[in-house]
Chains A and B, each alone.
Chain A
C-alpha cells in the first residue's frame, strides 16, 4: 500500500475513534450530571450543530445561499409539534413528518427557482420564510403550549438524547456526502457552475438534491425544538434569527467544512450565554452581526482557517529549531 494511502487510513482511524469517543462522552452526559442548565447547554449546542450542518450542505458545499432556512426549520417544528402533540402520533413519526413538511416547502421554491439564475433562489428562500412567518402569526396567533399533564412529567433527558441522535445523524450524513461523488459534484457547482455543467454535472438536479437533503435535516432539527419547547408562537418558528444563527455558525466556524459548524456551534452558544448576561435586550444579535461581517470580509475560512494558520505558524517554528 502506498505511503500516502497508509497515512490516509491511519488518519481515518484517528478521526473515527476521536468521533466515537466524543459521542460516547456525550451519551454519558445526562448520567454524569443532573444540572438542567448544563444539559440544556448541551442540548442547544447539539440543536445548533444539526441546524447549521444542514445549512452547510446547501450553503457551504453547494454554494447556494439559502437566506430563508428558518422556513424549513419552522415548517419542521410546526409539523412535528402538531403531529406529536395535537394528533397524538408517536414522536418518531412526528419528527419524520417534520422533515417531510420541510422538503415539501423546499420543492415549492426549489423547483421553479433552480431553473433560473442563482439570485432567484436567494430571493425565493427569503420571501418564503417571511411569508410563512407572517401567515402563521396571522392564523395561529396564540402560543402553542404543552398541556399541564405533559409539563408535569416533562423531562429534559429524552429531549437531550433526541438532539444528540439528530445531530449525530446530520453530521454523519453531511460527512458522508462531503466524501462522495455527490459532494464533489456539489463543490464543483459552488466553484463554477458553468464549468461544472460543461463537465457533465447536471447542476439543476444536484442543487435540488442538496436542497432537499438540507431542508429535510433542517426539518428534523425543527422537530427537536418542537419536542423541547414548552410554549411558542407559530410565527416565531419562522423568525429570521433561525436562519441567521445557522449561517453565522457555519461562517464563523468554517464554511464548507465538517468540523467548522461543530466548533462554530460550541463557540456560538457559549458566546451567546456570556453576552446575554452583560448586554441589554437583543444586542448580542448585533454583536454576532458585526462578527459575521468581519468574518465574511477578512476571514472567509472562519475559525478553521484561523486554526490552520496558527498550526502552520507553530509547526514552522518547530522546523526552525
Chain B
C-alpha cells in the first residue's frame, strides 16, 4: 500500500468535511475519486498534501506516518498535487516554473544547468516544448494546466494527486489530457484523480472511490460503482 488513510476526520466550524474516512491506495493504481460538490474531495487532497491538519486519524505514505506534515515535506517525501484553479508562478517563465519542482522536489537537483536541461525535457514531454521561455502569465487555461502537471512531475513523485484536470477543456483537449494521464500512470506513478467528467474518469481509473458528505459511500471497479444505487442517489440528490 503506497497510501493509507485511516479514520480521517476534519470539520470546519460546525461543518464536517471528512468523516472517519478509510482509504487505501496500491502502488501503480489509478484511483478515481468522485462525488457530488462539497463531498470533501479537495479537502482530502488538502489533508494528504499537508495544507490542513486533520482533527483525528492518520495518513501513511509508504508505511511512514505523514499526518500533519508541512506541504513541502509531503512533497519531498514523494507526493505531488495539482490545484483545481491552477496556481502558476505567473511572472516566471514556464521553464522556471518546472525548475522549482525539479530543484525542490523529492529528488532535488542543485545545479541550475542540470535542472534546466531536465526541465526542458519535461516541458517537451508535456507538449510545451516551444514555450519554455514564455512567462506563465501569458498562458491560456490548457497550457496552464499542462504547466501545473509538468511542475508536479518535476518533483519526481511516487504519488500524484490530480484535482479536476479536465474542467474547462473541450473534447480534443480532454482526449490529450487523458493520454497524458495514462502515460504518467504507465511510467509507474500512482495516481489519485478527482474528476467531475464521468466519461474521463471511467476511462482511466482502475478503481473508483465515491465520497458524499465526507464519507466513502462506494468503492470498486468503475463499471460497478457507477451502477451502485447509493452513488446514483448521491448525484441525483445534487440535482
Contacts and interface: CB of A to CB of B under 8 A. Distances in A.
Interface string A192-227: 101111111111000000000000000000000000
B83 interface: yes
B155 interface: yes
Interface in B170-189: none
A117 interface: no
B75 A191 contact: no
B51 interface: yes
A172 interface: no
Chain B interface size, as a band, is: 20 to 34
B96 interface: yes
A184 B72 contact: no
B70 A197 contact: yes
Nearest to A205: B72
B76 interface: yes
A188 B103 CA distance: 12
B155 A200 contact: yes
B96 A200 contact: no
Interface string B84-119: 000111111000100111011110101010010000
Interface string A238-252: 000000000000000
A315 B110 CA distance: 37
A191 B90 contact: yes
Interface string A103-138: 000000000000000000000000000000000000
A180 to B, nearest CB: 7
B49 interface: yes
B81 interface: yes
A198 B70 CA distance: 9
Contacts of A203: 72
Given A179-B112, A187-B91, A198 B81 contact: yes
Q: How large is the interface on A (under 10, 10 to 19, 20 to 34, 35 or more residues)?
A: 20 to 34
A181 interface: yes
B159 interface: no
Nearest to B161: A198
A191 B99 CA distance: 14
| Centre residue among B71, B91, B106, B108 by max chain A CB count within 10 A | B71
Given A184-B103, A194-B51, A196-B100, A201 B89 contact: no
Given A184-B99, A187-B96, A192-B89, A200 B105 contact: yes
Given A188-B100, A195-B87, A200 B70 contact: no
Given A188-B89, A188-B92, A199 B49 contact: no
A185 B155 CA distance: 14
A245 B2 CA distance: 54
B110 A198 contact: no
Contacts of B83: 194-195, 198
Given A192-B88, A198-B80, A200-B155, A181 B72 contact: no
Interface of A: 179-181, 184-185, 187-188, 190-192, 194-203, 256
8 contacts: A181-B112, A190-B91, A194-B83, A196-B72, A198-B83, A199-B72, A200-B105, A256-B91
Given A196-B104, A199-B104, A200-B101, 20 more contacts: A181-B103, A184-B99, A184-B112, A187-B96, A188-B89, A188-B92, A191-B88, A192-B87, A192-B88, A192-B89, A192-B90, A195-B88, A195-B89, A195-B151, A197-B51, A197-B71, A197-B72, A197-B75, A200-B106, A200-B108
